[in-house]
């Protein structure tokens, strides 16, 4: 059986945390018609000295409870070298039809700025829904 991409959706924009120490959703693709692939980027180049940001990636295996997949904390200016300004969230395949989860949101990324001045962050994610 071959698999093809039935639809592609770009989820891009700018997110500003609601306030310090408040986890804010960057992207949550929502329910998809079939299994899907999600991948994307968050731009931290606006960060300055004194800023601290936590990025968290979650998946849901049952369609209702999110489990933390990855989390990273960034401090100060993210200008390159050891502190790259763009964070890449690698491709994840989510199985929308497993365990009755079709129609549920299975993925999200959040930002939580815990120190400094609240900043705006650009993001760009792609969702590819499979068929086949």
* Domain enclosing residue 47, as ranges: 4-131
| Interval 44-99: pLDDT, tens | 999 999 999 999 999 988 888 899 999 999 999 998 777 789 999 999 999 887 65
Return the bridge partners of 101, or none. none
Rounded Cα distance between 15 and 11, Å, is 12
pLDDT tens-place string over residues 21-44: 999 999 999 888 889 999 999 999
Edge to edge, the sheet with strand 4-15 lists 4-15, 121-131, 36-43, 86-94
Q: Which residue has the higher pLDDT, 62 or 108?
A: 108
Nearest to 123 by CA among 56, 55, 43: 43
pLDDT at 120: 98
pLDDT of residue 86: 95
Task: Give the pLDDT band of residue 102 (cuts 50, 70, 90).
Answer: low
Domains contained in the chain, number: 1
How many angstroms separate the CA atoms of 101 and 61, rounded?
8
Q: Kindly state the average pLDDT of the residues 101-112.
A: 85
Report the 10 Å Cβ neighbour count for 98.
13
Other CB atoms closer than 10 Å to residue 61's CB: what's the count? 14
Q: Domain of 34: which CATH number?
A: 2.60.120
Q: Are the C-beta atoms of residues 13 and 121 closer than 8 Å to each other?
A: no
Mean per-residue pLDDT, 2-22: 94
């Amino acid at each position: 059986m071959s698999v093809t991409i039935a639809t592609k959706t770009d989820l891009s924009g700018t997110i500003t945390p609601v306030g310090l120490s408040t986890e804010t959703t960057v992207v949550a693709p929502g329910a998809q018609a079939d299994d899907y692939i999600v991948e994307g980027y968050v731009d931290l180049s606006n960060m300055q000295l004194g800023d601290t940001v936590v990025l968290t990636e979650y998946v849901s295996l049952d369609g209702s409870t999110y489990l933390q997949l990855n989390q990273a904390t960034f401090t100060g200016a993210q200008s390159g070298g050891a502190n790259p300004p763009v964070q890449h969230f690698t491709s994840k395949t989510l199985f929308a039809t497993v365990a009755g989860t079709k129609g549920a949101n299975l993925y999200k990324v959040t930002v939580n700025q815990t120190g400094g001045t609240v900043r705006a962050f650009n993001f760009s994610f792609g969702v590819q829904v499979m068929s086949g």
